[in-house]
Amino acid sequence: MELTTTLANTARELGASLVGVAPVERFDGAPPAHHPTELLPGAKAVMTFGIRILDRVMEWPELLKGSPFYPEPKRAEALRVCLYEKSGYEVINDHLNTIALRVATHLEEAGFPSLFFPTTNTGVPEEFTRIPAMFSQRHAAVRAGLGEFGLNNVVVTARYGPRIRWNSVITAAPLTPSPLLAEKTCDGLACLECVRQCPHGALSTLPEAAEQGIWLNPPARTDWNTCRRSRSVTDCMGRCLRVCPAGRTPANGRNGQIA
Would you tell me which residues interact with ligand SF4 (CB under 6 A)?
Answer: 150-152, 156, 186-188, 191-194, 198-199, 202-203, 222, 227, 230-231, 236, 239-240, 243-246
115 vs 198 by CB, closer to ligand SF4? 198
Cβ 80 to ligand SF4, closest distance in Å? 11
CA dist 217 to 31, 123, 151, 166, 225, Å? Answer: 12, 27, 10, 16, 21
Q: What angle do CA 88, 135, 183 make, to 5 degrees?
A: 70
Residue nearest to ligand SF4 (CB): 150
Nearest to 187 by CA among 216, 141, 143, 148: 148
Q: Are 138 and 155 in contact (CB under 8 A)?
A: yes
Radius of gyration of the chain (CA): 18
Cβ 112 to ligand SF4, closest distance in Å? 35
Which are the contacts of 26, defined by CB distance < 8 A and separation ≥ 6? 143, 177, 180
Helix, strand and coil percent figures for the chain, each rounded to 5: 40, 15, 45
156 vs 181 by CB, closer to ligand SF4? 156
**Cα–Cα distance measured from residue 245 to residue 249, given in angstroms and rounded to the nearest whole number:** 8
Cβ 111 to ligand SF4, closest distance in Å? 41
44 vs 163 by CB, closer to ligand SF4? 163
Cβ 173 to ligand SF4, closest distance in Å? 33
3-state DSSP assignment of residue 217 = coil
**Cα–Cα distance measured from residue 146 to residue 103, given in angstroms and rounded to the nearest whole number:** 18
7 vs 203 by CB, closer to ligand SF4? 203
Cβ 120 to ligand SF4, closest distance in Å? 13
61 vs 188 by CB, closer to ligand SF4? 188
Cβ 196 to ligand SF4, closest distance in Å? 9
Q: Are 24 and 35 in contact (CB under 8 A)?
A: yes
152 vs 257 by CB, closer to ligand SF4? 152
106 vs 235 by CB, closer to ligand SF4? 235
Cβ 191 to ligand SF4, closest distance in Å? 3
Residue 88 is classified by DSSP as I
